[in-house]
Structure 1
Amino acid sequence: MRVLNLEQGRPDRLTARRLLLSGLENARASGHREVKLIHGYGSHGVGGSIRRDTRTTLLQLQEEGQILGFIPGEEFGPFSELCRQALTKNWELTRDPDYARGNSGITIVLLRK
Protein backbone atom coordinates (compact mmCIF):
# COMPACT_ATOMS: atom_id res chain seq x y z
CA MET A 1 0.00 0.00 0.00
CA ARG A 2 1.35 3.41 -0.95
CA VAL A 3 1.70 5.88 1.95
CA LEU A 4 1.18 9.59 1.35
CA ASN A 5 2.11 11.95 4.20
CA LEU A 6 0.02 15.10 3.78
CA GLU A 7 1.18 16.73 7.00
CA GLN A 8 4.93 16.54 6.34
CA GLY A 9 6.40 20.02 6.36
CA ARG A 10 3.19 21.42 7.90
CA PRO A 11 1.54 22.58 4.67
CA ASP A 12 -1.64 24.62 4.60
CA ARG A 13 -4.80 22.75 3.61
CA LEU A 14 -4.71 23.90 -0.04
CA THR A 15 -1.14 22.69 -0.49
CA ALA A 16 -2.11 19.42 1.21
CA ARG A 17 -5.06 19.08 -1.19
CA ARG A 18 -2.75 19.46 -4.20
CA LEU A 19 -0.44 16.80 -2.71
CA LEU A 20 -3.46 14.55 -2.17
CA LEU A 21 -4.73 14.83 -5.74
CA SER A 22 -1.33 14.36 -7.36
CA GLY A 23 -0.43 11.55 -4.96
CA LEU A 24 -3.64 9.64 -5.70
CA GLU A 25 -3.11 10.01 -9.44
CA ASN A 26 0.49 8.80 -9.16
CA ALA A 27 -0.56 5.82 -7.04
CA ARG A 28 -3.29 4.87 -9.50
CA ALA A 29 -0.88 5.19 -12.44
CA SER A 30 1.59 2.94 -10.58
CA GLY A 31 -1.05 0.24 -10.12
CA HIS A 32 -1.70 0.64 -6.40
CA ARG A 33 -5.16 -0.30 -5.15
CA GLU A 34 -4.98 1.48 -1.81
CA VAL A 35 -3.30 4.58 -0.44
CA LYS A 36 -2.77 5.34 3.22
CA LEU A 37 -3.04 9.06 3.87
CA ILE A 38 -1.37 10.54 6.91
CA HIS A 39 -3.07 13.85 7.62
CA GLY A 40 -2.84 14.12 11.39
CA TYR A 41 -5.74 14.43 13.77
CA GLY A 42 -5.44 18.09 14.61
CA SER A 43 -3.74 18.35 17.99
CA HIS A 44 -2.19 21.65 16.90
CA GLY A 45 -4.99 22.81 14.63
CA VAL A 46 -3.20 22.24 11.32
CA GLY A 47 -3.86 18.51 11.09
CA GLY A 48 -7.51 19.09 11.87
CA SER A 49 -8.03 21.38 8.89
CA ILE A 50 -6.07 19.04 6.61
CA ARG A 51 -8.09 16.05 7.86
CA ARG A 52 -11.43 17.78 7.31
CA ASP A 53 -10.45 19.07 3.87
CA THR A 54 -8.99 15.70 2.86
CA ARG A 55 -12.15 13.83 3.79
CA THR A 56 -14.37 16.39 2.06
CA THR A 57 -12.24 16.08 -1.08
CA LEU A 58 -12.37 12.27 -0.90
CA LEU A 59 -16.16 12.37 -0.59
CA GLN A 60 -16.32 14.50 -3.75
CA LEU A 61 -13.96 12.13 -5.59
CA GLN A 62 -16.10 9.19 -4.51
CA GLU A 63 -19.31 10.88 -5.68
CA GLU A 64 -17.63 11.61 -9.04
CA GLY A 65 -16.58 7.96 -9.34
CA GLN A 66 -12.86 8.75 -9.28
CA ILE A 67 -12.22 6.52 -6.24
CA LEU A 68 -14.07 3.47 -4.94
CA GLY A 69 -14.25 4.87 -1.43
CA PHE A 70 -12.29 5.63 1.69
CA ILE A 71 -12.02 4.32 5.21
CA PRO A 72 -11.46 6.85 7.99
CA GLY A 73 -8.70 5.66 10.31
CA GLU A 74 -11.08 5.42 13.24
CA GLU A 75 -13.09 2.85 11.21
CA PHE A 76 -10.10 0.97 9.77
CA GLY A 77 -10.71 -2.37 11.44
CA PRO A 78 -12.85 -5.50 11.52
CA PHE A 79 -16.08 -3.74 12.54
CA SER A 80 -16.34 -1.51 9.46
CA GLU A 81 -18.37 -2.93 6.57
CA LEU A 82 -16.35 -0.98 3.99
CA CYS A 83 -13.12 -2.26 5.53
CA ARG A 84 -14.38 -5.86 5.47
CA GLN A 85 -15.25 -5.42 1.78
CA ALA A 86 -11.76 -4.05 1.09
CA LEU A 87 -10.23 -7.03 2.90
CA THR A 88 -11.92 -9.42 0.45
CA LYS A 89 -9.74 -7.85 -2.26
CA ASN A 90 -6.58 -7.38 -0.20
CA TRP A 91 -6.32 -9.18 3.13
CA GLU A 92 -2.82 -7.76 3.63
CA LEU A 93 -4.45 -4.53 4.83
CA THR A 94 -4.66 -6.28 8.20
CA ARG A 95 -0.85 -6.13 8.39
CA ASP A 96 -0.86 -2.33 8.42
CA PRO A 97 0.27 -1.08 11.86
CA ASP A 98 -2.82 1.17 12.09
CA TYR A 99 -5.32 -1.64 11.44
CA ALA A 100 -7.86 -1.80 14.30
CA ARG A 101 -6.12 1.02 16.19
CA GLY A 102 -8.78 3.73 15.75
CA ASN A 103 -6.22 6.24 14.44
CA SER A 104 -8.14 9.34 13.33
CA GLY A 105 -4.91 10.79 11.90
CA ILE A 106 -5.04 8.52 8.84
CA THR A 107 -7.44 7.60 6.05
CA ILE A 108 -7.28 4.63 3.67
CA VAL A 109 -8.30 5.40 0.08
CA LEU A 110 -9.59 2.61 -2.17
CA LEU A 111 -8.59 3.36 -5.75
CA ARG A 112 -10.27 2.35 -8.98
CA LYS A 113 -8.18 0.28 -11.37
Structure 2
Amino acid sequence: MLKTINLEEGFPTVEQARQKMLRELDLARRAGHKGVKLIHGYGSSGVGGEIRLSVGRALQEMKRHGEIAFVIYGENWGISDPDTWALLKLRPSLKKEEDLGRKNRGITVVWF
Protein backbone atom coordinates (compact mmCIF):
# COMPACT_ATOMS: atom_id res chain seq x y z
CA MET A 1 0.00 0.00 0.00
CA LEU A 2 0.92 3.66 0.19
CA LYS A 3 2.87 5.23 3.02
CA THR A 4 0.76 8.04 4.51
CA ILE A 5 2.33 11.39 5.38
CA ASN A 6 0.17 13.84 7.34
CA LEU A 7 1.28 17.38 6.52
CA GLU A 8 -1.46 18.97 8.66
CA GLU A 9 -0.29 17.43 11.91
CA GLY A 10 0.68 20.06 14.47
CA PHE A 11 -0.90 22.92 12.46
CA PRO A 12 2.28 23.90 10.59
CA THR A 13 2.82 26.99 8.51
CA VAL A 14 2.76 26.53 4.75
CA GLU A 15 6.55 26.58 4.60
CA GLN A 16 6.89 24.08 7.46
CA ALA A 17 4.46 21.72 5.70
CA ARG A 18 6.33 22.07 2.40
CA GLN A 19 9.67 21.32 4.07
CA LYS A 20 8.16 18.33 5.88
CA MET A 21 6.83 17.03 2.58
CA LEU A 22 10.24 17.28 0.91
CA ARG A 23 11.94 15.59 3.86
CA GLU A 24 9.36 12.81 4.12
CA LEU A 25 9.35 12.13 0.38
CA ASP A 26 13.13 11.73 0.48
CA LEU A 27 12.92 9.40 3.49
CA ALA A 28 10.15 7.33 1.88
CA ARG A 29 12.11 6.90 -1.32
CA ARG A 30 15.26 5.92 0.59
CA ALA A 31 13.24 3.40 2.61
CA GLY A 32 12.10 1.76 -0.63
CA HIS A 33 8.51 2.99 -0.75
CA LYS A 34 7.19 3.31 -4.29
CA GLY A 35 4.50 5.82 -3.45
CA VAL A 36 2.98 7.93 -0.72
CA LYS A 37 -0.33 9.53 0.15
CA LEU A 38 0.02 13.09 1.38
CA ILE A 39 -2.67 14.46 3.67
CA HIS A 40 -2.71 18.24 3.30
CA GLY A 41 -6.34 19.29 3.72
CA TYR A 42 -8.20 21.52 1.32
CA GLY A 43 -9.42 24.60 3.17
CA SER A 44 -12.83 23.17 4.05
CA SER A 45 -13.72 26.22 6.14
CA GLY A 46 -14.06 28.25 2.95
CA VAL A 47 -10.71 29.91 3.48
CA GLY A 48 -7.23 28.53 3.41
CA GLY A 49 -6.03 25.60 1.42
CA GLU A 50 -2.61 27.22 1.19
CA ILE A 51 -0.79 24.01 2.12
CA ARG A 52 -2.63 22.15 -0.64
CA LEU A 53 -1.67 24.79 -3.20
CA SER A 54 1.97 24.98 -2.08
CA VAL A 55 2.31 21.19 -2.07
CA GLY A 56 0.75 20.99 -5.53
CA ARG A 57 3.19 23.53 -6.97
CA ALA A 58 6.19 21.79 -5.43
CA LEU A 59 5.04 18.36 -6.68
CA GLN A 60 4.47 19.63 -10.22
CA GLU A 61 8.00 21.05 -10.23
CA MET A 62 9.38 17.72 -9.01
CA LYS A 63 7.45 15.93 -11.75
CA ARG A 64 8.84 18.30 -14.40
CA HIS A 65 12.35 17.47 -13.18
CA GLY A 66 11.69 13.73 -13.31
CA GLU A 67 11.91 13.27 -9.54
CA ILE A 68 8.47 11.68 -9.37
CA ALA A 69 6.43 9.78 -11.95
CA PHE A 70 2.83 10.49 -10.92
CA VAL A 71 1.09 13.26 -8.99
CA ILE A 72 -2.60 12.47 -8.60
CA TYR A 73 -4.74 14.92 -6.67
CA GLY A 74 -7.39 13.39 -4.45
CA GLU A 75 -10.31 14.67 -6.53
CA ASN A 76 -8.82 12.75 -9.50
CA TRP A 77 -7.84 9.60 -7.55
CA GLY A 78 -10.33 7.32 -9.27
CA ILE A 79 -10.40 4.80 -12.12
CA SER A 80 -11.78 7.32 -14.64
CA ASP A 81 -8.58 9.42 -14.36
CA PRO A 82 -5.93 8.43 -16.96
CA ASP A 83 -2.97 8.75 -14.56
CA THR A 84 -4.78 6.81 -11.84
CA TRP A 85 -5.71 4.09 -14.32
CA ALA A 86 -2.12 3.87 -15.58
CA LEU A 87 -0.85 3.54 -12.01
CA LEU A 88 -3.48 0.94 -11.12
CA LYS A 89 -2.41 -1.13 -14.12
CA LEU A 90 1.17 -1.02 -12.81
CA ARG A 91 0.11 -1.71 -9.21
CA PRO A 92 -3.27 -3.49 -9.05
CA SER A 93 -2.99 -3.74 -5.25
CA LEU A 94 -3.69 0.01 -5.10
CA LYS A 95 -7.30 -0.73 -6.08
CA LYS A 96 -7.80 -1.45 -2.38
CA GLU A 97 -6.54 1.98 -1.26
CA GLU A 98 -9.21 3.48 1.01
CA ASP A 99 -9.45 6.91 -0.68
CA LEU A 100 -9.68 5.58 -4.24
CA GLY A 101 -12.80 6.97 -5.87
CA ARG A 102 -13.75 9.22 -2.94
CA LYS A 103 -12.77 12.52 -4.62
CA ASN A 104 -10.97 13.59 -1.44
CA ARG A 105 -9.47 17.02 -2.19
CA GLY A 106 -7.48 16.84 1.05
CA ILE A 107 -4.99 14.26 -0.25
CA THR A 108 -2.51 13.78 -3.08
CA VAL A 109 -1.01 10.48 -4.25
CA VAL A 110 2.63 10.59 -5.30
CA TRP A 111 4.41 7.75 -7.11
CA PHE A 112 8.20 7.74 -7.53
TM-score by length of 1: 0.93
* Count of residue pairs brought into register by the alignment: 110
How far 1:89 moved relative to its partner?
1.6
How far 1:96 moved relative to its partner?
1.3
How far 1:69 moved relative to its partner?
2.0
1:14 has 2:45 as partner? no
Distance 1:4 1:89 in 2: 22
The amino acid that maps onto 2:95 is T
- Percent identity over the alignment is 37
1:40 has 2:41 as partner? yes
Matches within 5 A, 1:1-113: 1-44=2-45, 45-46=47-48, 48-111=49-112
Distance 2:109 2:42 in 1: 14
How far 1:97 moved relative to its partner?
1.2
Distance 2:75 2:109 in 1: 10
How far 1:88 moved relative to its partner?
1.5
The amino acid that maps onto 1:53 is S
Which 5+ residue runs of structure 2 have no aligned equivalent? none
Distance 2:85 2:4 in 1: 20
Which 5+ residue runs of structure 1 have no aligned equivalent? none
Distance 1:69 1:61 in 2: 10
How far 1:83 moved relative to its partner?
0.4
